[in-house]
Amino acid sequence: MGRRIAIVEDEAAIRANYADAFTRQGYEVAAYADRPSALAAFARRLPELAIIDIGLGDEPEGGFTLCAELRAMSARLPIIFLTARDSDFDVVSGLRLGADDYLTKDISLPHLLARVAALFRRLEVLAGAAPQEEQLVRGPLALDIQRLAAHWRDQPVALTLTEFWMVHTLARHPGHVKSREQLMTEARLVVDDGTITSHIKRIRKKFAAVDAAFDGIESVYGAGYRWKA
Amino acid sequence: MTSLRISLRTKLALISLLLLALPWVGYRYVDEMERFLRDGQRDALVATARAVATALHERPQLFGPRPGGTAVSLADSMLPNEEVLDLAISSMPALPAEAAPFGLPAVTAPTRGGADEVAAILRALERTTSRIWVVGRDLDVIARAGTLVPPDEADTAPDGGLLRLWRRLTGRAGAAPADIAALLADATPPSAQAVSSAFFGATASWVRPVGDGEVVVVAAAHPVWVADRVHGAVVVEESTRAILSVRDRALARLMLLTFTGFAITAVLLLGFASRLSWRIRRLRDEAENAVDARGRIADLSAGSRAGDEVGDLSRSFSRLLARLAQHHGYLETMASRLSHELRTPVAVVRSSLENLQLEPLPDSATPYIERANAGLTRLTRILSRMSEATRMEQALASTETERFDLRAVVGECVQGYRLAHPGTCFEAQLPDYPVWVRGAPDLAAQMLDKLVDNAVDFAAADTPIRIALVFHDTTAELSVSNDGPPLPAALEGKLFDSMVSGRQRDGGDEPHLGLGLYVARLIAGFHGGSLRAANLPDGRGVCVCAALRLA
């Protein structure tokens, strides 16, 4: 019996395509076109992962509302925003509401599937179902590849999936300059340079919240970023 | 064509000259008035003459020969100027009146008291401003009363300054009032010619000039009948001085009033015209400055609440500009909206293609799937480029500024470019000391990226790209120049606008939407600077220069 995924998306073609792709992967998919129907179904039974569009039918911010309601029902349920809106403001709003990841519809199906799988893996690890393994330790930084969790000086840093992969890419080879294109590929994103810059900025802020003296990520102007060895 | 430029103010001033017609109209009116008064005066004189004559009718004793006079006088003739044979010449004794020839009615013995009686009658009729003569048929003055110059008026009423000015203006200097008074006081008996029609039995009136003609004497004559014979005439004379002085005073007052009115109206009109043209000029200036060099559209404030046509104009300008701004904003955000709107259908295509790939497909289908995917990737890249500028604007709004060393950033960037573009030579010319500016080093690097990308794309093969950072008073000038084709003239001043590209050739895999330099301009603006592009002096290539404010 596969895991249950809920897709809330008002565009019928995309909904059907994603549903098909996930079904093919062995997931059990429930697709909803608008917020009320999704909420009614969630009230009966929560899915194990929810993929939500922000604009739902005639509710331009319906996805945000739904995310907040869903988060109120369950604190652990992984929620992914999958939307056409890519402004910084929307990304920040979505992540603040408790979403685990924010993806734009540029993402390819394999990438989306990989992210969903990663989130489920994290869920399993958190549930203690899988043994702890594959740690990446760089000085004070510890990355748990299985849990997709980052620690700085033994304190957890709440990174989204995208941010985690960026940090992972940088930290794997400290001192090596990673260009924006490389970061993009690693994080399985298709975005412009500006978005990478704002992602890096957010990552720095999150580390700085834990340790004000954090300067692990160095900008190499004209080339990219590197993890300070 | 340089047409004569007449300002609104001048035009209104010229039109206000029409007001000068008012004094002329007033003058005409006063003239009419004068004529009317003279006619009235003449009628009054005729009436006076008739009245006096009525008192003298049928009193032949008043016209008797005077003592010591000739027995035969002109008064005896039937008609004026009729030759009368003077019998006295033949030294005959004076004939009694009864013996008058032609059976004339008997005339009572002439008494000395006749003239006195007439004078007494006249005294009763005496008026201050008219002179009454009673003349006999032979033009002898029987009695006279009154004077043309009232005694108290001879030297009164000194003219006001305005009156003198008016006289000077009209050239009617005329004789001094005293002279005229003297002339009038000169009592010239009425001439025979003037009185003759009265002797024929008709009432007559005439005008006699005095002096140079400004002041005239109006006179009227009425016959005095005794039975059916004219025995004499009453002549009443009056000068027009009173009317003239009334007229002059009226003219002076008229002149004073019209000039005062004219001055007030002219000042008001000028003020009004000045204010109007000031408002229109202000509106014009504001409308001209409403759209600045960067295409930003500001609001108008001039007279936007005024209720008149200028206010209307300002309001419709405002509406027009608002619509223009709306359209402008729409165009500026169109790229990002378009990319946003296209993202959903692209997602449909992508997810469908990817699902298709997971289905068992014949091998022959693979190349098509691959091509579709390649096209889709390119489309996605274009879409993300299109929203780049908007995203940069959003990022700029939330970026905090810091003071940083631009020289270090440029130095590092150049190192990076040498790695990133191994086939191109980069020449850097940096100052020996740090260049502090305020902004964000990330963004400054991104701006330099854009400029260098642009230079690399346009550089001729095997030519270096020169990056120079120099000081200019309060600005640091960062310039990137390359050898290659010069800037197209058509792009003059538009190079840094959104969606403007000078690229002719096909962009290949990398889409060129003309947003790179636009983003660079946004960043330069964020650093309190500006971008400009110019051809190199020797025409070898192009130099793009960013002037950033020093911190």
**Which chain B residues contact residue A84 at CB under 8 A?**
340-341, 343-344, 347
Residues A21 and A52 in one domain: yes
The CA–CA distances, whole Å, from B85 to B66, B90, B102, B103, B295 equal: 18, 10, 13, 16, 119
Strands B465-472 and B426-429: parallel
**Which chain B residues contact residue A106 at CB under 8 A?**
343, 346-347, 380, 383-384
Tell me the residue range of the domain where A64 lies.
Answer: 4-126
Residues A12 and A87 in one domain: yes
The CA–CA distances, whole Å, from A55 to A52, B68, B347, B393 equal: 9, 142, 15, 23
b or e along B249-267 (b: 16 or more beta carbons within 10 Å of the residue's beta carbon)? bbbbebbeebeeebeeeee
The CA–CA distances, whole Å, from A53 to A10, A35, A57, A204, B28 equal: 8, 10, 10, 27, 92
Residues A60 and A170 in one domain: no
pLDDT, position A6 = 93
- Secondary structure class of A120 (helix, strand, coil): helix
Q: How far is B364 from chain A (nearest CA, A)?
A: 23
Residues A42 and A87 in one domain: yes
Which residue do the tokens 């790179």 mark? B516
Residues with Cβ within 8 Å of residue B275, at least 6 apart in sequence? none
Residue A148 and residue A120: Cα distance in Å, rounded?
A: 10
Residue A125 and residue A146: Cα distance in Å, rounded?
A: 7
Residues A168 and A115 in one domain: no
Per-residue H/E/C for B461-491: CCCCEEEEEEEECCEEEEEEEEECCCCCHHH
Cβ pair A14:B380 closer than 8 A: no
Q: What is the pLDDT along chain A (229 residues), one digit of tens a residue?
A: 578 999 999 889 999 999 999 998 889 999 999 899 999 999 999 999 999 998 888 888 889 999 999 988 888 888 999 888 877 788 888 888 888 888 888 788 888 888 888 888 877 777 765 555 678 888 888 888 777 788 888 888 888 877 888 888 888 888 888 887 787 777 766 555 667 777 888 888 888 888 888 888 888 776 788 888 6
Supply B531's token pair.
Answer: 């971008």
Cβ pair A193:B446 closer than 8 A: yes
Is residue A116 within 8 Å of A5, Cβ to Cβ? yes
The domain boundary, picked from A126, A160, A181, lies at: A126
Is residue B374 within 8 Å of B400, Cβ to Cβ? no
β-partners of residue A7 are: A31, A51
Residues A64 and A98 in one domain: yes
- Fold observed for domain B398-549: Heat Shock Protein 90 (3.30.565)
Is residue B517 within 8 Å of B442, Cβ to Cβ? no
Chain A: residue whose CA lies nearest to B408:
A221
Cβ pair A197:B381 closer than 8 A: no
Neighbours of B10 (CB within 10 A): 12
Residue B44 and residue B240: Cα distance in Å, rounded?
A: 13
Residue B149 and residue B240: Cα distance in Å, rounded?
A: 11
Q: Give chain A's domain count.
A: 2
Cβ pair A221:B395 closer than 8 A: no
Residues A99 and A191 in one domain: no
Residues A121 and A158 in one domain: no
- Secondary structure class of A57 (helix, strand, coil): coil
Q: In what order do the strands lie in the sheet with A141-144?
A: A135-138, A141-144, A149-152, A155-157
**What are the backbone angles phi and psi of residue B395, rounded to the nearest 5°?**
-65, -40
DSSP secondary structure letters along A138-171: ETTEEEETTTTEEEETTEEE---HHHHHHHHHHH
Where along chain B do its domains lie?
26-253, 309-386, 398-549
Supply A97's token pair.
Answer: 């509401």
Is residue A111 within 8 Å of A184, Cβ to Cβ? no
pLDDT, position A41 = 92
Q: How far is B546 from chain A (nearest CA, A)?
A: 17
Determine the residue among A221, A225, A226 to mutate to test chain B binding: the one whose Cβ has the most chain B Cβ atoms within 10 Å: A221
pLDDT, position A156 = 86
Strands A79-83 and A101-104: parallel
The domain boundary, picked from A69, A101, A126, lies at: A126
The list of chain B residues with pLDDT below 70 reads: 1-3, 64-114, 125-128, 149-181, 187, 211-214, 292-297, 300-304, 336, 491-495, 497-514
Dihedral sign of CA atoms A182, A187, A189, A192 in order: negative
Residue A17 and residue B345: Cα distance in Å, rounded?
A: 12
The CATH number that applies at residue A191 is: 1.10.10.10
Nearest CB partner across the interface for B354, out of A109, A191, A219: A109
Please give the DSSP secondary-structure letter assigned to residue B373. H
Chain B: residue whose CA lies nearest to A87:
B391
Cβ pair A109:B441 closer than 8 A: no
Q: In what order do the strands lie in the sheet with B426-429?
A: B426-429, B465-472, B475-483, B541-549, B530-535
The domain boundary, picked from A126, A146, A167, lies at: A126
- What share of residues in chain B are helix, strand, coil (percent, to 5)? 50, 15, 30
What's the length of chain B? 551
pLDDT, position B150 = 63
pLDDT, position B90 = 44
Contact pairs from chain A to chain B, CB under 8 Å: 115
Q: How far is A100 from chain B (nearest CA, A)?
A: 21
The CATH number that applies at residue A67 is: 3.40.50.2300
Residues A72 and A114 in one domain: yes
DSSP secondary structure letters along A32-54: ESSHHHHHHHHHH---SEEEE-S
pLDDT in tens, B418-457: 877 888 888 888 888 888 888 888 888 888 888 888 888 8
- ipTM comes to 0.73
